[in-house]
Amino acid sequence: MTSGDFRGRIALVTGGSLGIGRATVLALAREGADVAFSYLGTRRSSDEPDEVVREGKKLGRKILAMESDVSNFNGAESVVDRVCRNLGGIDILVNNAGITRDSVLWKMTEAQWDDVLNVNLKGCFNYIRAVSPVFREKRSGKIVNISSINAMRGKFGQANYAASKAGIIALTKSAARELGKYNVNVNAVAPGMVETDMTQSLPKEVLDQSLRESVLGRFATPDNVADAVVFLLSDRAAHITGEVIRVDGGQYL
């Protein structure tokens, strides 16, 4: 996918060292954007952020990696300030960072519920709030939030995850209403099963069931999701806001 819409633009992607986030960072860099991304160093190998930076720089772009916990309210403002200082501003936000702590409701702990809601939903709020003053002042901006098809249908053993992703859809629509008059587009992408490190740890029966649900008979790749994100961030989607695009191979049907 090549549009050239992103030359001279600066993007921030949360959770950008792996999976959908990594694919989105590199897709935006290929399209000409300079990209900052956050990552949580305690969760994964410290080599992964460095690899993303190297790949982005090979594309001739400025790439900035920042270790940060998206659930930290003040940390979000610090990250946005650092992006503006180091890259010269911010035009795009992609809220991708997310975790799972799966359990059936009657066994789910308070920590499992709180951890998922704090990262997935509160983290999304933290960064929208942090970029909003910048976008309002410049009267432009693009935001894409990563939700899930399970936000629309629920999922056994994922009440916390489904609730957090449903909250992201409501937050997306509310933010679109509030920021629209400042020429800010806010949309969401809702993937089905995606081939990532997170899904590789799922039981085989869960993966098999998801594969049977897909009318295309395959899982998405991170690049499939990143392509939809890049479209919504592009000038070709200038009149789209408050929408949710499913990227699920028909899994939701």
Tell me the sheet residues that pair with 190.
246
- What pLDDT was estimated at residue 41? 74
* Catalytic entry in 39, 161, 182, 252: 161
- What pLDDT was estimated at residue 42? 61
Across 129-156, average pLDDT: 97
Alpha-carbon 225 to chain mean position = 10
Residue % of the chain over a pLDDT of 90: 87
pLDDT in tens, 182-214: 999 999 999 999 987 767 666 777 777 888 889
- What pLDDT was estimated at residue 174? 98
d(CA 74, CA 86): 19
d(CA 26, CA 24): 5
Instruction: Identify whether 161 is a catalytic site residue.
Output: yes
Radius of gyration of the chain (CA): 17
At residue 88 the predicted structure's pLDDT band, cuts being 50, 70 and 90, is: very high
Across 116-140, average pLDDT: 98
- What pLDDT was estimated at residue 77? 98
At residue 2 the predicted structure's pLDDT band, cuts being 50, 70 and 90, is: very low
- What pLDDT was estimated at residue 1? 43
pLDDT in tens, 29-78: 999 999 999 999 765 557 899 999 999 999 999 999 999 999 999 999 99
Q: Which domains does the chain have, with CATH numbers?
A: 10-247 (3.40.50.720)
Across 140-145, average pLDDT: 98
- Lateral strand order in the sheet of 34-39: 63-67, 34-39, 10-13, 92-95, 141-146, 184-191, 244-247
Task: Give the list of residues 6+ apart from residue 122 with CB closer than 8 angstroms, or none.
Answer: 70, 71, 73
- What pLDDT was estimated at residue 15? 97
Across 11-37, average pLDDT: 97
